Every structure is written in structure tokens, then in C-alpha cells.
Structure 1
Amino acid sequence: MSEFHDLAELALNREGQSWGNLGYWEASSDYSDACRALALKLGEQAGLDQQSNLFDAGFGCGDQLLLWFEHFRVVKLRGVNLSQSQTAYAKAKLAEAGFPEAAAGLVQADITETAAWQAALGGDSPSHVLALDCAYHFDSRVNFFNLAQHHLAPAGRLVLTDFMLADQHHRGSLAHWLLRWMLRSSHIAEANIVHRDGYEQQLEASGFSDIRIIDISDHVMPGLAGAIRAFRQAGTSAGSARKLGWSGLIKYRVTGRFLKWAYHRSILRYCLISATKPAGPLESIAPNPDY
């Protein structure tokens, strides 16, 4: 059975790169560079350093894991990823780069299940939980928030990039029905896409404070559409388009056009979010055992 999250992004990357996010295109025109730039934004917002004990939720094919080690010098890293093919690829990539112990700390599982966190962490409490361009795909982002708050060390930080509804978007409109269709096609639960106020309320209800939301839509959403168009124009001669395959090419063309439409119609915004678990004696939110 084929996976929705697979290795298709390899065809979009330069040789030796395997990034798979929407990219940060302010100073980049190359897909691999833009993806790395978005990961850097996330790591910088998290304040990663040599004391960071990091849990990566949805680590893809592993390029970001190498960035956490090689650029930010994190002391410890574990993670959970849903895709079997990506997890195997990431483990091999880390081991080849000289991080076999970190490769052993990567678990293929559903991030919204308590057992996945227990398998990866083994009772440890990370200082940071990161989710780079993936939380909108989780079966329940609310349960992810609860699990992150439950397992983080006191004063630990949750940092992620995610979509939100723009203030101008209204449910029940034609644009909303088109959005619902695209969400279903992209394996995104509609409950995960809320307005900014609702997003903050979800974080607060999970026990987080010091919430900061930065809108980075201008440097993310229009950029991918242009990159996919350029890829189509140049890819055939290089063989990349053939390697991506017809279904993959259609998938990314539709994604690029949708993001451009949602951006210009002020339907969705793409944000960098950070929140902190209280350092005091407040009891953490217990994860929902039904997930």
C-alpha cells in the first residue's frame, strides 16, 4: 500500500538533499535552500543550542535532523515520524553522517499516540519539541499539544510552523467549500485549521503560556508555486520531472496553485509559533488515552 508521505520530494531537491517542507523563499530560489531556510527559522525561534534536548515531531527524510546536530549542536535528539519510507531514509542518513545513536532514537509511529512518545523518549523529558511544517497533517493537533506539554521538561518550549485561517475567511462561503475539498485531498483534518484566536486558545487549554505567533506567509506561500513552475520548465531536460512521476508532478502543481490562491484570497496564513510550558508546579495536561 502506497504512503501519502513518501520519498517524492527527493526529485525536487539537489543531489544529496532530501528536504520536504514548503520553504522560506525570502532570499532563496532553490527548493533545497528554501527548505533549509525554513528549518533555520524554526531552530532560531526555538533558541536551540548545545544544551538542547530535542524531540522532533515529523522529521521527514532527515535533513532537518542533521541541521539540528551540525548547525545548532544539540546535545540529544529523538523523534517520531508517520512515514515508514521516510523514517528508514532518515535513519540511514543519520547513520551515514556519523550519528548512529541518534538514528536509533527515531521511531516510526503516529505522533498523536502516547505510545509513540514513550517509545522515543523512554521517560526522558526534552527541553524542546519541534514540528516543522507537519502539524496540520496530524490526526489531532490538539492531542499533539497535550502530549507535547505532558512530556516537555518544565520551562520547555514547543515551536512549530503551521497554517491558520485568515481573519477575512468565513465558514460557509464558496472559498470555504473549496478549502474543505483541498484539505481532504491533502489528508488534513479540517479541525486543525482554525483562526489565530482559536489556535491560541488550544495552546492555552493544553497548558502553554508565553505564546508567540509570527505570520511568515509572504515568504512561504507564494514561493512554492513559483518553484514548482520553474521545476516543470527545467525538470524534463534534467530528468527530474520523470523521476517525480506524473502523479507526483500533479500533486505539487495542485499544491502550489492552491497555496498561491489561498494566499492572494486571504484564506490561509502560514505562521511560526512558539509556546512555553510553565516552570512552576502546575500539573501538566494528561494526554487523551483514546488516541
Structure 2
Amino acid sequence: MSEFHDLAELALNREGQCWGNLGYWQSATGYSDACRALARLLGEQAKLDRQSVVFDAGFGCGDQLLLWLDHFRVAQVRGANLSRSQTSYAKARLANAGFPAAAHAIMQGDINDPEVWAAAPNADRPSHVLALDCAYHFPSRVEFFALTRQHLAPLGRLALTDFILSDHHQTHSLAHRLLCWMLDRSHIARANMVDRDHYLRQLQDSGFSDIRIIDISEHVMPGFARFARRVHSENTAAPSGQNTGWPGMLKYRLTGRFLHWAYRRSILRYCVISATKTA
């Protein structure tokens, strides 16, 4: 059976890379570089270091796991990812890169399933829980916050990149109906789309403090939209047999157009969020 989250993003990357996020386009021009830049920004906001024990909630095809290990030199990584194909790919990628313990410590599963958290093969509680460009896809972000607090070490850190509703967005408008239509087709729960104040309260009610919500929309949403237009044009112009196929490119083109619309209409904002588990 096909998966909504699969290996399609491999076609967007340069050879040897397997990123799958929206990217941070402040100075990057290529997709792989932009994706790496977003991951680096998240790691910096999380304050990763050599003592960090990381639980990655949605690690994609594994490039971000290698970044935590290679660039930030974290002590351990483990995590869960909903996609079977991506998890299998990430395991092989970690093993081939010389991290067999990390390959063993990641698993396929629903991040809102408590058994996924309890099944971690290492007894150390994570000092950091990261969710790079994926929390809006979780069945319930609030349940994710609760499970994160439950399993984090004392004073542990949560860091994620996520969408929030703009403060200017009106929920009783045609734009909101169009937003809900797109959310339904993108496997995003409507309840996950809340404004900044609501998001802040959800974190506080879940037992987090020292909360920072930084709007990085201008360096994410327009950049991915421009990239999606360019790659769609290049793919359409490619000779038959050398393109990635219409269904895959349609997905990226529609995502790019949606992000362009949501940004220009000030409907969604893209933020990097960090918080500390309350003692």
C-alpha cells in the first residue's frame, strides 16, 4: 500500500542527500542546502551539545539524524517515524555511515502512541526531543507535547519547527474554508492549526516554560514556493524518462502554490519553537 510520506523527496535532493523539509532559504539556493540550514537552525535553538540524548520525532530519511551526530556531536540519537519506507531508508543510511547503534535505536511508529516512546532500546531519558517540520502532521500535537514532557529528562528541551495561524487570520472567512480544504488533503489535523497565543498556552498547560516562538516565515515559505515552481518547470521540460513523474511533481507544485498563497494572505506563519520542561 502506498504511503503519504514516502521516498519521493529523494528526487529533489542532490546526489547523496535525502532531506525532506521546507528548507531555510535565507542564503541557500539549493534544496538540500536549505533543508540542512533549517535543521541546523533547529539544533542551535535546541542547544544541542556533546551530552545531548536526542529523541527525533519524525526523522524522515535520516539526514537530520546524521546532522545531530556529525555536526552537533550528540551523545545518542533515537526516534520514531510514521513512514515504513523512510524508516528503512534511514536505518540503512545510519548503518552505512558508521552509526549502527543509532540505526538500531530508531523505529517505525506513530509518535502519539505511548508504546513507541516506551519501546526505546536505551534506558537513558532524552535530554532533547526534536520535531523538524513534521509536528503539524501528528494526529494530535497536544498529545505529543504531553508524551514529550512525560519522557524528557528533568529540565529537558523540546524544539520544533511548525506552522501556526497568523494573528490576522479570520476563522470565519472563505480563506479559512480554503485552508481547511488544503489541510484535509495534506493529512493535517485541523485542530493542529492554532494561533500563537493558543500554541503558547498548549505548551504551558503541557508543563513547559522558557518558551520561545520565532517567526521565520519569510525565509521558509516563499523560498520553497520559488523552488517548487523552478523544479516543476525543469521537470516538465526534461526529456521523457528523465523526470520524476507527474504525480510527485504535482504534489510539490501544489504545496508551493499553497505556501505562496498562505504567506501572501497572512494566513499561516512558520516558526521555530523551543521550550524547557518545567521542573
Normalization by structure 2: what TM-score? 0.97
The one-letter code matched in structure 1 to 2:181 is: W
Deviations 1:72-108 (A, max 9, x none): 0000110100000000000000000000110000010
8 Å contact kept, 1:232–1:241: no
Segment of structure 1 superposing worse, 74-83 or 223-232: 223-232
Give 5+ residue unaligned stretches, structure 2.
Answer: none
Matched, 1:205 2:191: no
Aligned to 2:170: 170
User: Offset at 1:236?
Assistant: 5.0
8 Å contact kept, 1:78–1:106: yes
**Aligned-pair identity (%):** 68
Aligned to 2:130: 130
8 Å contact kept, 2:52–2:74: yes
Deviations 1:111-152 (A, max 9, x none): 001000111255431100000000000000000000000000
Structure 1 residues 227-238: aligned runs within 5 Å: 227-235=227-235
Equivalent-residue separation in structure 1 for 2:173 and 2:232 (angstroms):
33
Paired residue secondary structure (1:133):
coil
Deviations 1:207-244 (A, max 9, x none): 11111100000000001111011112333566799553
The one-letter code matched in structure 1 to 2:166 is: A
Aligned to 2:109: 109
The one-letter code matched in structure 2 to 1:160 is: L
Equivalent-residue separation in structure 2 for 1:238 and 1:209 (angstroms):
51
Aligned to 2:153: 153
Matched, 1:6 2:6: yes
Equivalent-residue separation in structure 1 for 2:226 and 2:240 (angstroms):
16
Give 5+ residue unaligned stretches, structure 1.
Answer: 280-291
Matched, 1:90 2:82: no
Aligned to 2:248: 248
Normalization by structure 1: what TM-score? 0.93
Structure 1 residues 255-266: aligned runs within 5 Å: 255-266=255-266
Equivalent-residue separation in structure 2 for 1:137 and 1:264 (angstroms):
22
Aligned to 2:47: 47
Deviations 1:36-63 (A, max 9, x none): 0000000000111111011000000000
Matched, 1:19 2:19: yes
Distance of aligned partners of 1:262 and 1:204 in 2 relative to their CA distance in 1, 3 Å threshold: same
Paired residue secondary structure (1:252):
helix
Distance of aligned partners of 1:240 and 1:95 in 2 relative to their CA distance in 1, 3 Å threshold: farther
Paired residue secondary structure (1:175):
helix
Equivalent-residue separation in structure 2 for 1:240 and 1:48 (angstroms):
45
Aligned to 1:284: none
The one-letter code matched in structure 1 to 2:38 is: L
Give the aligned CA root-mean-square deviation in angstroms. Answer: 1.4
8 Å contact kept, 2:87–2:107: yes
Aligned residues: 279
Equivalent-residue separation in structure 2 for 1:263 and 1:41 (angstroms):
21
Aligned to 1:77: 77
Deviations 1:170-226 (A, max 9, x none): 112000000000000100000000000000111011111111100000000001111
The one-letter code matched in structure 1 to 2:81 is: N
